[in-house]
Amino acid sequence: MEWQNPRRSLLLNLQVDASSARNGTTASCKASGGDDAEVTLFAESPPQVSRLEVCCATGSAPYIVATEDDLVLVGVAFGPNSCSWSGYDYFIYRLGAGEGASSLELLPDPGLSLDDSHVGILRRRGDGDYFVAALCYPSSPGKYDLALYSSSTREWTTKLASLDLDQEQQQHVDLCHVNRKVITVGGEAGTMGWVDLWHGILLCDVLHEEPRLRYIPLPPPLLPTRELEGCPRNARDIAVIGDDQIISYVELQIRVLPGPSSTGSYVSGGWTLAVWTTGAGAATSNNPAASWHQDYKFDASEVTTIVAPAAQFEALPPELQQDDEEGALLVRLHTGHPTLCLHDRGVVYLMTKVDYQDERAWVLALDMESKKLKGVAEFTADRVPGFCFTYTHSRVSQYMNVQGDLKR
């Protein structure tokens, strides 16, 4: 069957379930130990969250490492008897348009553990090839190991990537930079970026024989006195949007008020959201920080009109459907996890809860230009403490045309 509401991008749950459910996107191959591994995508229209499911007799703890265009890199643990150095098998799941057109490929053992904070995918348009790139922390000042897998050679290689900064700047980046996310810019040089969401981006032309790293600092925080510590992914996001190589960066600054002293909790006091953009070539300017342009900045109380169909809001608790004061709904909801839409630079998704630790959440699609809500979808957050990073954006949906919401 055709997927009735195709999207150029979707939200993909990073919590991967083990399941034998199948649909037209199902693909399989042999794992390193000889067992069959099977991956299936269940796609939903945003702001609903899509999911992957993995079926493998002896595998466990599947997780998504990276996604780019029609590719998803998935890790599956196979225990002490695994043939992999890390105890994981890594698979490339490729989405195809049509029943049975998707494929699954087991990668050779990379000799290191792969996770979404330092691993990304570079898709080569035209020839169908791809690369998996992992940037490791510096082995010496200003020197980073770049592990690169090529689909054409089916081999992993390692290059030395050098940081082009003066000694004082290199020391600062080496000490402060903590990879949180990888973005793919592309182009002939295969430019990718390793992002510390508190501080800046390390851009690298990974296809060069002697790759060089270029550093772009992020815009200063909305709250200048904020201590930049802990995990930033519940308040910040970054992505390359469109074919014009625009890097978009969003920050959500929340405000909290003390709650009942008997519980030690707190209540939401609203939030401020801002989005900046820059071109991927910003690193060549004399002052990269000045190249960021603030496209949007507004407060939760300014979102006054709900334009999505009323039925989408029926799942909200009754007390949140009866606000007399415009804008009060979003101010009172706990909010976090901003996620940029990959096909519309004017849309950002937010996760909201009535209470910070609730297992029930909603994903809001917010039109930043009009400051209106475009849609709301309920999200089960039973495995998500607070607003921990739990889903990501992906373009895989533009490569499929099968039924995206198969029910069990």
Q: Note the pLDDT tens digit of each residue in 26-84.
A: 999 999 888 889 999 999 999 999 999 999 877 678 899 999 999 999 999 876 555 66
Residue 77 gets the label, from left (phi > 0), alpha (psi -120 to 50) or beta, of: beta
Strand segments (E) across 300-343: 305-306, 334-340
Highest mean predicted confidence (pLDDT) among 17-26, 149-158, 303-312: 149-158
For residue 59, the Cα-to-chain-centroid distance in whole angstroms is 24
- Cα dihedral 22/24/26/27 (nearest 10): 150
Predicted local confidence at residue 326, as pLDDT: 52
Q: Is the pLDDT of residue 100 over 50?
A: yes
Q: Note the pLDDT tens digit of each residue in 335-366.
A: 999 999 998 999 999 999 888 888 888 899 99
Predicted local confidence at residue 398, as pLDDT: 85
CB atoms within 10 A of CB 328: 15
Model-level pTM? 0.90
H-helix segments, 103-216 = 167-176
Predicted local confidence at residue 207, as pLDDT: 95
Exposed/middle/buried for 6, CB within 10 Å: 0-12, 13-18, 19+? middle
Predicted local confidence at residue 382, as pLDDT: 79
Which helix (H) or strand (E) segment holds residue 295: the answer is: strand 293-299
pLDDT tier at 282, thresholds 50, 70, 90: low
Averaged pLDDT for residues 170-186: 90
Averaged pLDDT for residues 362-381: 89
Which helix (H) or strand (E) segment holds residue 144: the answer is: strand 143-150
Predicted local confidence at residue 404, as pLDDT: 42
Q: Which residue has the higher pLDDT, 360 or 395?
A: 395
Phi, psi of 173 (to 5 degrees): -65, -45
Predicted local confidence at residue 313, as pLDDT: 57
Predicted local confidence at residue 285, as pLDDT: 47
Averaged pLDDT for residues 325-343: 83
Predicted local confidence at residue 1, as pLDDT: 28
Exposed/middle/buried for 392, CB within 10 Å: 0-12, 13-18, 19+? buried
Q: Which residue has the higher pLDDT, 339 or 260?
A: 339
Averaged pLDDT for residues 101-121: 94
Q: pLDDT above 90 covers what percent of the chain?
A: 50
